[in-house]
Structure 1
Amino acid sequence: MALDTEEVAAASDSVARPRRRWVTVCVWLVVAVFGLWAALRLLPWDVHFAWVQLVAFTPTVALLSLIAPILALLLRRWIALAAGLAVCAVFATAVLPRAFPGSNSAASGPPLRVLAANLKVGSVPPDALITLVRDLRPDILAVQELTPTAAENLRTAGLGELLPFYAGEARAGVGGSGIYSRHPLQLTDLIDFGGFGQARATVQLPGARVDVVSVHPCAPSQKSLYQCWADGLTALPNPDNTPKILLGDFNATLDHARVRALLATGYQDAADTTASGLTTTWPATPWTFHGLPIPSVTLDHIVVDQHTAVHKFTTHLLPETDHRAVYAELTLAAK
């Protein structure tokens, strides 16, 4: 016996409803994934070791989050569309300001050029670094992963002719750091957690003093290194009456809670201030994980107190290292 028209329509509708529900569920799952990431990014602490590794990719995830409202729009899931747009707004609030100039101090003190470079266990050829120093003419150079051999090679190659003053501690492996200066300086501390020394020195400029730290906490590449990474960042000095410059390989981005907490004490990121906050520094060349391309992230920073003006920020390739060198031109506050 043939089915009448109403029976056929009812049967078709009963099949379509489960299909529509599955589409709705899939759209909401996409929204939820990006929403969870955005919510975790807003928290003022690190929720888990795995999150410390993942949160560095927030700028890329912020761009990908546009998938959620676009998918909801195409499939006409209006509530999911509204939720997806709200998630995108959270990401935009957190990430987009880095692409625009930030507030800057009207400092009128001495000018200062600073440069930081991770030498990758001393692998950077000394001539290449010295050429960069000649080109940029920094007053202060902070280096990380400074080995005894690298320190001696830099001395032999003539770095002392350009930056005659030095403070720091060269070490075998990745834990050494140093500060080279055009002006007299004195080592005041070696912030040391997990064998990663972060040299701290006072540099005496004409008419001013500045407190400089060559930043390099241990990399949170595995769970056992999480604590020394956290301690190394937490131990960085807070701003006070002496101008402060923290520069180097932070092994962290502006999306990490500890870096955000550091900036909240009265610092500014030079790249962020000059609309270069989305410029990535590691790895310096494209990399893959199990054949999949992985986006680069911003681990290297120049951080200054809010009374210091930032005029320029750039990154520079050096051979044999996976980090870009970072450079900034500053003006310190008048005293």
Structure 2
Amino acid sequence: MVLVGVAGLVVVRVTGLDAGSVFALVVVGVPYAVVVTVVVGVVTVVAGARWLTVLALGLLVVQLVVLVPRFVADGTAVPDGAARLRVATVNSHVGNVDAKALVDFVRSERIDVLAVEELAPQAIPGLDAAGLRDVMPYRELRPKDDSSLYSRFPFTSSGPLAAPTTWPQTTATLTVAGRAVEVVAVHTYYPAGDPDRWTRDMIALKAVAHENSVLLGDFNATLDHEPMRDLLSAGLVDSHAELGRGWAPTWPADRALPPLVQLDHVLHGHGFAAVAVGERTLPGSDHRLVFAELALV
């Protein structure tokens, strides 16, 4: 019975049946299913259940084919002296994230662009009082639209993304080493609320997928979701998978147990190569902050 359940999950993952359906809620369990398959496989070997062992082995092979690539670094060559862009994203949990902790992180890690989701209007003065205005004087703040951008660099343009998402995604263009870079602070709808609406949000983001774009934020999606894989196929790269960091759960980060799934990502076009990624737990947020250093190639 356990193997039948795993088999069903594998079918959903391989066929992409989670797009626009309630299966989006269970496909996040694919990495955990590997462990389950190994345990059950050992039990079937000990029990002498040959055909169940064969089934477990077959399922394990398929799961490894799906999962292993994200644990293998791409090995993209970065030219010596290439310009760098350091970005970070945090879901502020309706403005409850600890302002001092966030600003201290921005300072210590020399973050150039910060995307903030669920930035409540009342949280903005607190962030500035903690020093964010000093280190990031340029900003496109759209708390009513749910996502905002802060930057060390001036924006040449900024505003809501022209895409039919549930709530507007905030975008800005800045110049890095003479190149125009488009940054989008992402917060999609969530599949538990309406998987079809969430899927449409992910599809709409494909409109901004190009060589010099950086999409970062709370996608409410893992690399096992079909809409996320579809977005990546439009010409984007997940920074964690690019560096072989295939396991970096970010949610929920405010519980006694460790985070279970990675919903927060830094995606970039082929004009960049990730050279470093990481996560940080900040008080007050239910998501781990995600940051990445991108080299222009």
Counterpart of 2:142 in structure 1 is 169
In 1, are the aligned partners of 2:187 and 2:219 still within 8 Å (CA)? yes
SS of aligned partner of 1:38 = helix
Counterpart of 1:320 in structure 2 is 284
Counterpart of 2:100 in structure 1 is 127
In 2, are the aligned partners of 1:270 and 1:328 still within 8 Å (CA)? yes
Aligned equivalent of 2:28, options 56, 61, 77: 56
Deviation at 1:221, TM superposition (A): 2.5
Counterpart of 1:156 in structure 2 is 129
Deviation at 1:294, TM superposition (A): 8.9
Counterpart of 2:252 in structure 1 is 283
Counterpart of 2:294 in structure 1 is 330
Q: Given residue 234 of structure 1, which amino acid in structure 2 is its aligned partner?
A: I
Q: Given residue 199 of structure 1, which amino acid in structure 2 is its aligned partner?
A: T
In 1, are the aligned partners of 2:91 and 2:285 still within 8 Å (CA)? yes
Aligned equivalent of 2:148, options 178, 182, 190: 178
Structure 2 alignment gaps of length 5 or more: none
The 2-side partners of 1:296 and 1:98 are apart by 17
The 2-side partners of 1:295 and 1:151 are apart by 27
Counterpart of 2:173 in structure 1 is 202
Larger radius of gyration: 1
The 2-side partners of 1:295 and 1:169 are apart by 28
Deviation at 1:80, TM superposition (A): 2.0
The 2-side partners of 1:90 and 1:31 are apart by 13
SS of aligned partner of 2:26 = helix
Deviation at 1:233, TM superposition (A): 1.3
Aligned equivalent of 1:37, options 5, 9, 17: 9
- Number of residue pairs the alignment of both structures matches: 293
SS of aligned partner of 2:76 = coil
What do the CA deviations read for 1:260-302 (whole angstroms, capped 9, x no partner)? Answer: 1111122111111112221110011446xxxxx7961010001
> Is 1:141 equivalent to 2:114 in the alignment?
yes
What do the CA deviations read for 1:219-271 (whole angstroms, capped 9, x no partner)? Answer: 2223xx32332222111135335x11111111110000000111112211111
Counterpart of 2:191 in structure 1 is 220
TM-score by length of 1: 0.81
Aligned equivalent of 2:236, options 251, 267, 270: 267
Deviation at 1:47, TM superposition (A): 5.8
Deviation at 1:321, TM superposition (A): 0.8
What do the CA deviations read for 1:80-111 (whole angstroms, capped 9, x no partner)? Answer: 21121010011111123323323425356421
For 1:234-253, what aligned pairs fall within 5 Å after superposition? 234-236=203-205, 237-241=207-211, 243-253=212-222
TM-score by length of 2: 0.91
In 1, are the aligned partners of 2:186 and 2:219 still within 8 Å (CA)? yes
From the superposition, tell whether residues 71 and 43 of structure 1 become closer, same or farther in structure 2 (CA, over 3 Å).
Answer: same
The 2-side partners of 1:170 and 1:285 are apart by 22
SS of aligned partner of 1:180 = strand
In 2, are the aligned partners of 1:184 and 1:205 still within 8 Å (CA)? no
Deviation at 1:330, TM superposition (A): 0.9
The 2-side partners of 1:209 and 1:122 are apart by 30
Counterpart of 1:75 in structure 2 is 47
From the superposition, tell whether residues 122 and 286 of structure 1 become closer, same or farther in structure 2 (CA, over 3 Å).
Answer: closer
In 2, are the aligned partners of 1:35 and 1:87 still within 8 Å (CA)? yes
Counterpart of 1:19 in structure 2 is none
The 1-side partners of 2:283 and 2:260 are apart by 17
Q: CA RMSD in A?
A: 2.0
In 2, are the aligned partners of 1:238 and 1:262 still within 8 Å (CA)? no
